[in-house]
Amino acid sequence: MVRIVLIVIILTIYLINFYRKAKSLPAGAIPFPIVGNLFTFDFNDIHLWVCDHKKIYGSVFTIWIPEPLVVLANYDLINEALVTNGDHYSGRDVNGFPGKLLLEKVNNGVIMSEGEK
C-alpha cells in the first residue's frame, strides 16, 4: 500500500512539473507526458503539419518530440533570431531529438549543423 501511494505521489509531482513547464513555453498542442506530440506529428508531410500549426497557434509555437522545441514559422522572426541575434543562439546544446528525427548525419545541412563539417 505504501508503494502505491509513493508511486502516485511521484507521478503527481512529475505531471505537475511537466505541465507547469508546458505553460511556460509558447502555445502549442497539449503534449502527453513522455511521448509529447509524437502521436499528432505527420512524419510524411512535416511542412504541411507546421503550416497547420502556424494557422492555429501563430508564428511561434511549441512542439514536444518529446522534449519541447520552439518553432519559428515566420521569415522575419527566423531572420531576427538567426541573423540579428545569431550570437545568442549559436553553440546551444541541442537535445539531439530533432537531429535524430530529421537527419541521419551529424552536421549536415543548414539548420542542424554546428561547427565545421
Name the one residue in this structure whose C-alpha cell is 501511494. 5
What is the value of pTM for the model shown? 0.68
Q: What angle do CA 86, 89, 95 make, to 5 degrees?
A: 150
Residue 62 forms beta bridges with which residues?
70
Give yes or no for a contact between 70 and 26, defined as CB atoms under 8 angstroms apart: yes
Name the one residue in this structure whose C-alpha cell is 505521489. 9
Give yes or no for a contact between 69 and 62, defined as CB atoms under 8 angstroms apart: yes
Q: What residue ranges do the domains of the chain occupy?
A: 2-73
113's enclosing H/E stretch is none
Q: Which parts of the chain have pLDDT scores under 70? A: 91-117
